[in-house]
Amino acid sequence: MFADKKHFTSAIVGALVALSIIALVLNLVKVEDVTLPPTVKYGMVFDAGSSHTSLFVYEWDSDKENDTGVVSQTLSCDVQGQGISSYTHDPPKAGDALRECLDKALKVVPAAKQRDVPAYLGATAGMRLLREQNSSAADRVLAEVAKTMREYPVAFRGARILTGEEEGAYGWITINYLLDSFTKYSPKAHTWVRPEAANIFGALDLGGASTQISFMPEGSEMQWNESSTFTLYGSNYNIYTHSYLCYGQNEMLKRLAKELIVESSSSPRVVHPCYPRDYNETVSLSSFRTSPCTNRSDPRLTLSDRSVTLEGRGNASGCLAAVRKLKLFNFSACGQSQDCTFDGVYQPPVRGRFIAFSAFYYNFKFLNLTEGQSLATVRDTVERFCTRSWEDLSSSYPDENPERLPKYCANANYILTLLLDAYKFNETSWKNIFFQMKVGSKPSCG
């Protein structure tokens, strides 16, 4: 995912733990891990996301810059199959799925260094949800993963579930690392130097099961439980970071469907304002039991095995209203407080420029809204897209996944609600959000 930092012009930004690899290496690799001759060292990290797992092999020089390593990527390998949280009924398969990528990794690491290579696995929201629903099942999956990794000639350092705040903070570190905000290579001096006017960016991530916001607020007053402090390249950084479990894109779609069904008084056919006209989708109420985000006790709905058909209406305003009002966000919990997002969660005012990646980027890229368009243009584009029929969309985008295509209207309205109503970006600060898949040069202010 990340090119050699001395030469790269861009780096693909994907799942957050994949982003956090640099942060893990920068912060978790201790001095005693960096004792092998010659100077190049290696590290392996598995990104165990909610839908898939990837392995990344990194290398760095043993001579750290102000006690922080300068890291580049050597290998990336996508693990076949779904995320490890899907192996609850056959945990050994979660470990076996890693073997192909581990074998590839050993081919790029010199044999003499393999046993000293620190190897980690970090799991994110998919496993956090599994742990909430069935902690023993989550433990079994992690145990099988660890068992497999211990069979290989590497220095296994653990397989664990990252907290949402770690996920958000690591993404913030990596974005700014790639943008040379912490340190920059000087060809003239042949060394790494701290930029004279460091420009720190905020990070916005939207995954399948959770979403994160991380940034440096104005001043230093923050609630202690919402802040993280890092020392990188000899400088201290105090950031605000918060993760919202069950507010990822996939879980939001499930929760929206459930709320629409509840509001319809358990009718067998339910209007879905976000789906395209003439598009129908049949769901079983039992499917809501598969996630803690929709399986919570709700006297309004009996989760039987009966099926309900969701009928698309292509109603742009109705879609936005549904996302805002159908108990997806509890805005009333904030009262009159300005330093609050929803559900009573504290957040200082957003400040500075932000990189929005993962599902933020992919949805807006599909709608051709990643070129710095104004908020008015974004709203108009989303509204016009939402009114299109299923026949129109299917013929216009024949190569698009037919399971994703009908969801873009709901996703876009969710993104607007999250950024504007929850995080409190406005017409002015919207211009400071850069929707990017690639990071490697500072976004322009144009």
Per the prediction, the chain carries an average pLDDT of 84
A 10 A CB-CB count for 404 gives 13
| Distance of alpha carbon 421 from alpha carbon 241, whole angstroms | 18
Whether the CB-CB separation of 79 and 98 falls below 8 Å is answered with yes
Report d(CA 365, CA 376) in Å as an integer.
17
Q: Which amino acid, one-letter code, is at 302?
A: T
Q: Are 436 and 364 in contact (CB under 8 A)?
A: no
User: Is the Cβ–Cβ distance between 46 and 98 less than 8 Å?
Assistant: yes
The C-alpha atoms of residue 329 and residue 341 are separated, in whole angstroms, by 9
**Which pTM does this prediction carry?**
0.84
Residues of the chain with pLDDT > 90, as a percent, come to 59
Q: Which of 59, 165, 166, 167 is catalytic?
A: 167
Q: How far is CA 213 from CA 71, 347, 355, in A?
A: 24, 10, 10
Beta bridge partners of 304: none
- What value does the mean pLDDT take over residues 141-155? 97
Of 123, 175, 226, 216, nearest to 439 by C-alpha is 175
- Phi and psi torsions of 214, nearest 5°: -145, 130
Residues 6+ apart with CB under 8 A from 274: 256, 312, 315, 318, 319, 322, 323, 386, 407, 409, 410, 413
> Would you say residue 297 has pLDDT above 90?
no
Write down the pLDDT at residue 446: 43
Name the DSSP class of 422.
Answer: I
Where helices occur in 278-416 by DSSP H, the ranges are 316-325, 359-366, 375-386, 390-396, 408-416
Rounded to whole angstroms, the Cα distance separating 397 from 170 reads 35
The model's pLDDT over 207-263, given as tens digits with 9 standing for 90+, comes to 889 999 999 998 755 554 556 777 777 788 889 999 999 999 999 999 999 999 988
Which domains does the chain show, CATH number per domain?
A: 11-180 (3.30.420.40), 247-446 (3.30.420.150)
Question: Do residues 207 and 49 touch, judged by C-beta distance below 8 A?
Answer: yes
Return the residue matching tokens 């296994």: 156
Which structure tokens are listed for 220? 């230093």
In tens, the pLDDT along 409-433 reads 999 999 999 999 999 999 999 999 9
Length of the chain: 446
167 classed as catalytic: yes
